[in-house]
Copies of this chain bind each other. A is one copy, B any other.
Amino acid sequence: MPRNAVFVCVVDPGVGGDRPVMVLYADDKIYVGPGNGLFEIIARRAGTYKATRIIWRPAHLSPSFHGRDLFAPVAAALARGEGVETAGLTADVDDGAWRRPDWSDDLAQVIYLDHYGNSMAGLRAATLTPDQAVVVDGHVLGRARTFGDVAPGQAFWYENANGLVEIAVNQGSAVNKLNLTLGSDIALP
């Protein structure tokens, strides 16, 4: 993404409640969304960051779709290249309520299943040793570099293009072969 890209971020089960609405400037990117922990990892890994709480609200604000009614207009204002004040957004100082210092850096569980049956874990491959095996559904899986390095039908794990541990089957579905669902544990023996 280019410098000063603005991201509208919506994982917001508390929409319409009292969680803060915020802008996070982290390194050379700008994030707009709810202050419910969604930006914790971004801030934790940023070189520099600054958070601002947004008090501004649109004239018509639905209680359940702040992505459309609130975050998007804020992002559009910032995308013009202006700061929060210049963009006419009433803001307040950051009270840090959006931080979650107790949250772990990685999550050894399946966090995403794709259409093909591959499954991504919340676990950075760089935190594992190069020859680390993982255990999923009672199967011990070795590491491979890419799909074609194992036999068709064989399950393996590899560092995916986002740097995360991904469980896959060459020309097959890891979801089906290993009974994976969201939240399945990835054990490191």
Contact = CB atoms under 8 A, between A and B. Distances in A.
Given A68-B161, A161-B69, A14 B148 contact: yes
Chain copies in the assembly? 3
A53 to B, nearest CB: 19
Interface size class of A (residues with CB under 8 A): 20 to 34
B13 A170 contact: yes
A52 interface: no
A63 interface: yes
Given A69-B161, A161-B69, A64 B13 contact: no
A147 B65 CA distance: 11
Contacts of A65: 160-161
B13 A160 contact: no
Contact of A160 (B64, B147, B149): B64
Which of A15, A65, A146, A149 counts the most B-chain CB atoms under 10 A from its CB?
A: A146
A145 interface: yes
A98 interface: no
A189 interface: no
Interface in A1-27: 13-17
8 contacts: A15-B148, A16-B146, A16-B149, A17-B148, A63-B145, A63-B146, A64-B158, A65-B160
